[in-house]
Amino acid sequence: MTSELPRPWPALWESALIKACPEDFRVDEQLGFEPEGEGEHLWLHVEKRGANTAWVATELARWAGVTERDVGYAGLKDRHAVTTQWFSLHLPGKEAPEAPPQSEEFKVLSAVRHRRKLQRGALSGNRFDIVVRDIQGLPAGGEERVAQLLAQRGVPNYFGQQRFGIDGGNLDAARRMFAGRRVSREKRSILLSAARSDVFNRILAARVAAGCWESPVEGEVFMLAGSASVFGPEPISDELLARAARGDVHPTGALWGQGTLRSESAARVFDLGPEQNCSDLLRGLEAAGLRQERRSLRLSVASLSVARSGAAEIRLAFTLPAGAYATTVLDALGPCLDGGRGRS
């Protein structure tokens, strides 16, 4: 479970509750660009509450009279939340029905045309507004310590529990797939992602435990902040140490696949650590044809605000890049009970 992975510092509270209601966990998708205003695709800005992204896509396809393949969205958003995100519908040469669907689960906020379908991953990040309730053990003024740690150090860039399914079931299914069980193309993608994410989390957990998740070690491969560009390995210099301390560059870990592992020396030892306990996942990812890639070990938390909104309650607002998880930020602060889990 991701909540049991090592934290970068002692927990700031003993227990807390998130997602007591959908309004406690708000997510606003940020595309990083504006739709053009013309084209074959109708883009809809949608607010959903307590609804699954794929289900909303199905409802929009039914309303527009198109197949589900003609619906695009940039990413899955948490069901137990209030979220805004974009969907695209391929409607070449025709208009959509006049009245967009509206329900308790979702509503269309606006519509605009664009030349292209909205592809998975085509977003710059997400803005979160989260209420953490029933906090036990956070002293008076503790919210200032929360803000200081998140702003100055960020958090370990773990993949969130969402990647692994209920009770980690996606990992068990990935192992069965690697052993020869046939699965659908869509399910295969989900299981490969879960296996790769687990391997990365193991690498990162070892570096958190060793105290070097935010500082480079010999043989490090670096990622430039705000991009996916990597460089190295190269000898560690005072300049590199200063850039890492400022957050200009981040140490990285392996996203496992075929090819030569780029890291060297001590960094390579950490990257090869999962060989001891989950070599079956490594071999399965290689056989599936994935290529070696890198992911930042550190997640920077941008546009941060933290305020106490009650005696045992704080409110956090922050922005994360695409592929990062708000629950990763919360788990770094202390144990959180997810009030949304297990709800129908």
- Catalytic residue numbers, as ranges: 78
Would you say 197 and 165 are in contact if contact means Cβ atoms under 8 Å apart? no
With vertex at residue 194, the alpha carbon angle to CA 189 and CA 197, rounded to the nearest 5 degrees, is: 120
Alpha helices, DSSP H, located in the chain: 53-64, 142-153, 169-178, 185-210, 238-246, 265-271, 275-287, 326-333
DSSP code string of 81-118: SEEEEEEEEE-TT-PPPSS--B-SSEEEEEEEEESSPP
Residue that is written with structure tokens 């205003």 in the block: 37
Give me the phi and psi of 203, to 5 degrees please. -60, -50
Residue partners of 175: CB distance under 8 A and separation at least 6: 280, 281, 284
CA distances from 237 to 25, 43, 215 (A): 42, 48, 12
* Alpha carbon distance 209, 288 (integer Å): 30
With vertex at residue 10, the alpha carbon angle to CA 4 and CA 13, rounded to the nearest 5 degrees, is: 85
Would you say 71 and 57 are in contact if contact means Cβ atoms under 8 Å apart? yes
Nearest partner of 150 among 328, 5, 29, 28, judged by Cα: 328
Would you say 162 and 15 are in contact if contact means Cβ atoms under 8 Å apart? no
How far is C-alpha 192 from the geometric centre of its chain's CA atoms?
16
